[in-house]
Amino acid sequence: MAKEGVDMTEETEYMIDRNAGKEAVNVESPSNAKEMRAVVLAGFGGLNKLRVTKKAMPEPQDGEVKIRVKACGLNFLDLMVRQGNIDNPPKTPLVPGFECCGIVESVAENTHGFEIGDRVMAFMNYNAWAEVVCTPVDFVYKMPDDMTFTEAAAFSLNFVAAYMMLFEVASLREGMSVLVHSAGGAVGQAVAQLCSTVPNVTVFGIASCFKHTSIKDSVTHLFDRNADYIQEVKKISPDGVDIVLDCLCGENTGKSLSLLKPLGTYILYGASNMVTGETKSFFSFAKSWWQVEKVNPIKLYEENKVIAGFSLLNLLFKQGGCNLVKSAMDKLLILYEQKKIRPVVDSLWALEEVKEAMQRIHDRGNIGKLILDVEKSPTPLMANDSTETSEAGEEEEEPEGDNDSKERMPFIH
Ligand SMILES: NC(=O)c1ccc[n+]([C@@H]2O[C@H](COP(=O)([O-])OP(=O)(O)OC[C@H]3O[C@@H](n4cnc5c(N)ncnc54)[C@H](OP(=O)(O)O)[C@@H]3O)[C@@H](O)[C@H]2O)c1
């Protein structure tokens, strides 16, 4: 049976404290709401499969806390989930989202260490994009006092993934070199910041050209994603690099392995190349799969190379790795408190703006993280520009009939 917050009821509200530059929590009034808003993915496919609807209010089970959500992280993986571009996709309809933050509103039994009113961030195995979530405390972490909800929503997945890959899989040490794709993205920026916590690490970043001015100071060398990065890296470092972080897959696997120094580590942690159009492309999937270098362990032995894979969500939700993740999170929170790392936020969107937010990441427009701000009102629609780029065969099912040729402008952080 959950313990309800006495004074934590109807809506938990927050205001931006402009002077302090961070959120002040203003908890008010009783709530016995039976419903809450959530983003729902009706089926795999294009943007038209997403909508905001009312769902039954969840209640925490043994070992779970109930969180009044303030903000959620939107990741490239959410785009792949929407398309059904993942292994063993779950059944739809579903509520997407793998991370959120907010205030603990009630606690069930066996939730030692957590209290009503705690400001927390959490990993979710789906269901994060909602006003209220319930989740086991194994996946919940207390936020530092000076961390804003926007920062918290941009923190967990990117920084934990980047930390575990760099320090636990690849053993990053002083003087090493790291190559990272999508360097301007949320994980890319977390990788760059974490590398800067180790002396004398050289970071080769690859990103779309228009991001270069904004992110050039976060890496040592920056290349256009359309350039021949093998040649560019070898001009600077003929022996190659110690670590390659590859979230693209396909032809990059072979290229990356060829760039590794002896005892270097290649980590595959994503398959962004599989995303081409708005919906899943079997051609892109097959091409990416076909282009992956078939790895021969004997060749690895002869060349002294390490090849690895990393999936944070599988580690957390399928492989019982929550203690490993907790230990990484503890170290990251120390770095945050020492002001050595700080999430880069691209833009904030209302739940109702989830399609536009997803379109932005699909269009490679983001620098840093996209956030769904649960308490943000949708920005008024602007006429004559459309981000609704349904592919042939996809019917737009948007209920608000006259919105087809309008778009919302993001709130850029
Ligand atoms: N294994 C794990 O535990 C784990 C955890 C988190 C994220 N990931 C993976 O890490 C990668 C980055 O994730 P993120 O959430 O931080 O996203 P992100 O990098 O913030 O955003 C996407 C960026 O990826 C680049 N990109 C590469 N291929 C693309 C494509 N086909 N379509 C659109 N953009 C493409 C674009 O940057 P440029 O144009 O500048 O290249 C784009 O701005 C993804 O592959 C994701 O699945 C893995």
- DSSP for 31-52 reads ---SEEEEEEE-SSSSGGGEEE
CATH number where 286 lies = 3.40.50.720
In a domain, 337, yes or no: no
**Contact (Cβ atoms closer than 8 angstroms) between residue 35 and residue 93:** no
For the CA of 182, the closest atom of ligand 1 is 41
pLDDT of residue 354: 97
CATH number where 392 lies = 3.90.180.10
162 and 105 part of one domain: no
3-state secondary structure at position 283: helix
In a domain, 327, yes or no: no
- Closest CA to ligand 1's atom 34: 364
**Contact (Cβ atoms closer than 8 angstroms) between residue 13 and residue 29:** no
Residue where one domain finishes, among candidates 280, 300, 316: 316
205 and 234 part of one domain: yes
Q: pLDDT of the chain along its 413 residues, tens only? A: 444 443 333 333 332 222 333 333 333 434 578 999 999 999 999 999 999 999 999 999 999 999 999 999 999 999 999 999 888 889 999 999 999 999 999 999 999 999 999 999 999 999 999 999 999 999 999 999 999 999 999 999 999 999 999 999 999 999 999 999 999 999 999 999 999 999 999 999 999 999 999 999 999 999 999 999 999 999 999 999 999 999 998 888 888 899 999 999 999 999 888 878 787 776 666 666 666 667 788 888 999 999 999 999 999 999 999 999 999 999 999 999 999 999 999 999 999 999 999 999 999 999 999 999 999 988 866 544 443 333 333 333 444 333 444 454 554 44
149 and 15 part of one domain: yes
69 and 148 part of one domain: yes
Consecutive H or E run containing 222: strand 221-224
Q: Which residues of 163-182 are buried (b: 16+ CB within 10 A; e: fewer)?
A: bbbbbebbebeeebbbbbbb
Best residue for ligand 1 mutational test, from 78, 163, 168, 187 (most atoms within 8 Å of Cβ): 187
Q: Pairing between strand 260-268 and 241-246?
A: parallel
Alpha-carbon gap, residue 85 to 106, rounded angstroms = 35
373 and 306 part of one domain: no
Strands of 57-198 (E only): list them. Answer: 64-74, 99-107, 119-123, 132-136, 140-142, 177-180
In a domain, 323, yes or no: no
Nearest to 82 by CA among 226, 232, 279: 279
pLDDT of residue 127: 98
Alpha-carbon gap, residue 13 to 25, rounded angstroms = 7
141 and 30 part of one domain: yes
Consecutive H or E run containing 243: strand 241-246
**Is the alpha carbon torsion for 316, 317, 322, 326 positive or negative?**
positive
404 and 279 part of one domain: no
In a domain, 338, yes or no: no
For the CA of 369, the closest atom of ligand 1 is 20
Instruction: Please state the domain count of the chain.
Output: 2
How many Å lie between the centroid of ligand 1 and the Cα of residue 34? 37
- Closest CA to ligand 1's atom 18: 185
**Contact (Cβ atoms closer than 8 angstroms) between residue 3 and residue 107:** yes
Q: Which residues sit with their C-beta closer than 6 Å to ligand 1?
A: 75-77, 157-158, 161, 182, 184-188, 207-208, 211, 225, 247-248, 269-270, 272-273, 275, 310-312, 361-362, 364, 366
Best residue for ligand 1 mutational test, from 182, 288, 311, 413 (most atoms within 8 Å of Cβ): 182
194 and 122 part of one domain: no
Residue where one domain finishes, among candidates 316, 334, 365: 316
**Global pTM value:** 0.87
In a domain, 336, yes or no: no
**Contact (Cβ atoms closer than 8 angstroms) between residue 130 and residue 95:** yes
162 and 132 part of one domain: no
pLDDT of residue 16: 27
305 and 169 part of one domain: yes
Range of the domain at 173: 158-316
In a domain, 352, yes or no: yes
Nearest to 83 by CA among 368, 277, 308, 340: 277
11 and 125 part of one domain: yes
In a domain, 129, yes or no: yes
How many Å lie between the centroid of ligand 1 and the Cα of residue 307? 20
SS3 content of the chain, % helix, strand, coil (to 5): 30, 30, 40
Encoding tokens for residue 186? 């949320």
For the CA of 276, the closest atom of ligand 1 is 31
In a domain, 329, yes or no: no
Best residue for ligand 1 mutational test, from 163, 267, 268, 272 (most atoms within 8 Å of Cβ): 272
258 and 378 part of one domain: no
